[in-house]
């Protein structure tokens, strides 16, 4: 793939139900465009450990562990307006925004930075989502995590499916992939999705929907075709050669123990 040309900052928000392939898609965008991948949960852990926000401000009584909109606004301000998150030409917000109000928060932040915003909604049939979640494993060695709860899908060894292909360590399941937790997360997402769509339409935010039921979420060629042109301005979109460039290191929080255990998922 040709080297991306210099261009202004743009935000791409990837949302979708659990198991739809958000982590896979964001990793592929990072590989193709050297994009920065922002995950609210990870940033909240880092912000607490670094003293940018107080641990008390990130506590939540939500049964799924999701942050309030006020907490989200404070974290987004720290990340992007106070420069705590390194800005690349494209910032992929994985699994965010999660409410109509958070659409407004991200849009307002992007406007202050002079950056276009595009929301990409990945979706798939519920049976497909459950199957993907049931076959999803993570590796705590390849993905050091502040709370011991790795998130990104890991690849199993071809001969020993219980071990990581990269480091040969034992794989584990996400705590949030428990069937009951998955059902609650899926229900909440479905309930909030109409408000997110309506907010994007009201605010004039570019919005695309991509169905991954019959396709691999790692199919970057399709994802690129559906992305907003505003988010790809100045990028040489040579989809036939996507993946030829080496993958850059994704931004990850420093290893430091937070004062208190963070929420279950912390996506919102």
pLDDT (average), residues 82-93:
90
Q: According to the model, what pLDDT value does residue 77 have?
A: 95
Where do the H-state alpha helices sit in the chain? Answer: 22-33, 40-50, 69-76, 100-112, 126-134, 179-203, 220-226, 229-232
Structure tokens at 199: 């907010």
Task: Using alpha carbons, select from 248, 223, 8, 229 the residue that is nearest to residue 115.
Answer: 8
In angstroms, the CA 128 to CA 7 distance is: 37
In the predicted structure, residue 95 carries a pLDDT above the cut 70: yes
In angstroms, the CA 152 to CA 164 distance is: 12
pLDDT (average), residues 163-169:
73
Structure tokens at 36: 């920065």
Its pTM stands at: 0.73
pLDDT in tens, 19-78: 888 888 888 888 888 889 999 988 998 999 999 999 998 888 877 778 999 999 999 999
Q: According to the model, what pLDDT value does residue 249 have?
A: 35
Q: According to the model, what pLDDT value does residue 129 have?
A: 87
- List phi, psi (to 5°) of 30: -65, -40
Structure tokens at 85: 């998150």
Domains of the chain (ranges, CATH numbers): 10-126+204-241 (3.40.50.300)
Instruction: Return the exposure string of 95-133: e unless at least 16 CB atoms fall within 10 Å of the residue's CB, then b.
Output: bbbbbbbbbbbbbebbeeeebbbbbbbbbbeeebbbebb
């Amino acid at each position: 793939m040709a080297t991306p040309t210099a261009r202004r900052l743009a935000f791409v928000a990837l949302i979708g139900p659990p198991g739809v392939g958000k982590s896979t898609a964001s990793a592929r965008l990072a590989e193709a465009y050297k994009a920065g991948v922002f995950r609210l949960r990870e940033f909240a852990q880092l912000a607490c450990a670094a003293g940018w926000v107080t641990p008390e401000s990130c506590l939540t009584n939500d049964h799924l562990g999701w942050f309030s909109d006020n907490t989200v606004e404070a974290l987004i301000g720290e990340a992007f307006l106070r420069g705590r998150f390194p800005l690349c030409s494209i910032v992929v917000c994985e699994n965010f925004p999660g409410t109509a109000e958070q659409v407004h928060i991200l849009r307002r932040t992007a406007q202050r930075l002079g950056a276009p915003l595009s929301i990409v909604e990945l979706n798939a049939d519920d049976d497909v989502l459950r199957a993907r979640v049931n076959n999803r494993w993570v590796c705590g060695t390849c993905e050091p995590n502040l709370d011991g709860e790795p998130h990104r899908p890991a690849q199993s060894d071809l001969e020993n499916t219980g071990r990581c292909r990269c480091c040969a360590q034992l794989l584990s399941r996400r705590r949030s992939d428990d069937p009951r937790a998955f059902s609650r997360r899926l229900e909440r997402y479905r309930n909030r999705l109409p408000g997110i769509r309506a907010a994007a339409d009201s605010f004039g935010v570019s919005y695309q929907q991509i169905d991954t039921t019959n396709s691999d979420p790692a199919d970057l060629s399709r994802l690129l075709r559906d992305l907003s042109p505003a988010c790809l301005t100045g990028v040489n979109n040579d989809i036939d050669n996507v993946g030829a460039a080496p993958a850059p290191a994704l931004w990850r929080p420093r290893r430091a123990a937070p004062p208190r255990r963070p929420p279950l998922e912390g996506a919102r």
